[in-house]
Amino acid sequence: MKDQFTIYFEDGMPKGTAQQKGYNRRTGQYYQKDNVEAASRQFYYALLPHRPKVPSGRPIRLVVCFAWEIKKKSMWGKYKPTRPDTDNYIKEFKDVMTKLGFWNDDAQVVDERIIKVYADKASATVYWEELEDSPWGWDE
């Protein structure tokens, strides 16, 4: 199975990354900050219409192109070399995809590419596909 779709964020790209945790000194526990919860909700409702009927149990290739809205037309399509870091930003996105049943566990993502660009609208274009058990097409 494979799928490709684009989701749009009317209020701009969700803010907050998975690494942004708070620490309660009184209880000694970590908690998710409000902006991370808000980002998680935005991802959830944007991805919800695209979830598959059955979670994949196979290795997954995932390509996500995050596009941050910018008014300056000359910047559209250019790379966004500033924060947030791709590894921190994709974690929450993949956690939501796991929660929605794209796959059983995000450890199944064995081939991943994350791209950050500027565009006229805040969006994420997602391509994912199930892979064979071996990248060379033969069994061990």
Torsion sign (Cα): 46, 52, 54, 58: negative
Helix axis angle, 86-99 relative to 34-47, nearest 10°?
60
Cis peptide upstream of residue 84 (ω within 30 degrees of 0): yes
Q: What is the pTM of this model?
A: 0.86
pLDDT tens string 68-102: 999 999 999 999 999 999 998 999 999 999 999 99
Band the pLDDT of 25: cuts 50, 70, 90: confident
Query: What does pLDDT average to over the chain?
Result: 90
pLDDT tens string 46-75: 999 999 999 999 999 999 999 999 999 999
For residue 140, pLDDT over 60 is answered with no
Q: Which domains does the chain have, with CATH numbers?
A: 2-130 (3.30.1330.70)
Say what the pLDDT of residue 74 is.
Answer: 98
Of the candidate ranges 11-15, 51-55, 73-77, 123-127, the one whose mean pLDDT is the lowest? 11-15
Q: How far apart are CA 110 and CA 112, in angstroms?
A: 7
